[in-house]
Amino acid sequence: MNPVLRIGVLGAARIAASFCQGVAPSTALHVTAVASRSAERAAAFAQANGVPRVRPDYDALLGDAEIDAVYIALSNDQHVPWALRALAAGKHVLCEKPMALSVDDVDRLRAAADAAGRVVMEAFPYRFQPQTLDLLTRVRGGQIGRLRQLSGMFGFTLRRDADIRLDPALGGGSLWDVGVYPLSLIRALAGGLPATVQASAAWGGTGVDRALAAVLVWDDGLMATLQCWFDAVPHRHLRIVGTESTLASGFFNHVGPGQDWVEVAEGYDSRREPVPQGNGFLLEAEAFAALARGEEPRPHWPTWAETRDTTRLAQALLRSATEGRPIAP
């Protein structure tokens, strides 16, 4: 029998609670401990989410010999420092997106993971649920013909003026928070980097992008558009256009009732084809556990190249929006 992967959680944010609840049914892994900046907050988190142990701080959790891996749910600027410390402590790392805010840091993490002989995975739950895997299978298998256009959008209403997502020092901004979801999917579907990108942003008072729109162009004529917002009704949509047919769907972290379909259009006639439902946190974590056991990655799981390229594209889009000109990533 495969041993159960014992995971410690760094951080007590809302996303960490969703993670704990999502992976609770798993027999492949178990959340065994949590640490936060506040012992009281960690204790409340553990009680609310069924985590058996509380560690007094992050270093104590990393030093716990009964923990095999960590899930990092801290602010964006803290992902790389704590991932490196976790690897140095011999832990596998599942890190909330974005894994890093620069290509150089992605490369540092990969080198550290290779040196430690440990797995590092960027936490994009949507990448492991059946709807996304279905889209990737159709596109990479040539079912829609030659890929010609991609369009992805993700937005919601951010209601707290003091939210960490508005702090540039913490890696805030709509692109790093929600825009990287469609950006990572666009990169996965396209299979490589575009020749140029151009972006425009609506800047907030703190200096971060509260909304951003971009156009990406490949040498073969493939084009993609991306939009993300902090001031829109919650939505996440994707459209894929090929020479033979088009696809449309959400790209949800969890595919539930009413979301479990892919729209296929050939010319002007469309139909909805069903896909299985699934909890992305659970599927992502079990994929992570499989890699930690030494299993080979499954088809269409994310790669280091995709993580690196998505980070590179995000940097280029922000530079383009700041400088007001096209950028070659």
**Active site residue ranges:** 97
- 3-state SS, residue 163: coil
Pairwise CA distance, residues 2 & 293, whole Å: 8
> What is the dihedral angle through the alpha carbons of 314, 301, 126, 305, rounded to the nearest 10 degrees?
0
Pairwise CA distance, residues 135 & 113, whole Å: 30
Pairwise CA distance, residues 170 & 13, whole Å: 15
Estimate the share of the chain in helix, then strand, then coil, as percent rounded to the nearest 5: 40, 30, 35
Pairwise CA distance, residues 187 & 194, whole Å: 9
Q: Give me the phi and psi of 247, to 5 degrees please.
A: -125, 150
| Other Cβ atoms closer than 10 A to 131 | 24
Pairwise CA distance, residues 94 & 291, whole Å: 11
In contact, 272 and 261? CB cutoff 8 Å: yes
Largest pairwise CA distance in the chain: 60
Please give the radius of gyration of the chain, using alpha carbons only, rounded to the nearest integer.
Answer: 20
Q: Which residue's structure tokens are 């298998």?
A: 141
> What is the dihedral angle through the alpha carbons of 304, 306, 312, 313, rounded to the nearest 10 degrees?
-170
One-letter amino acid identity for 311? Answer: T
Q: Which residue's structure tokens are 């990287």?
A: 180
In contact, 70 and 7? CB cutoff 8 Å: yes
One-letter amino acid identity for 229? Answer: W
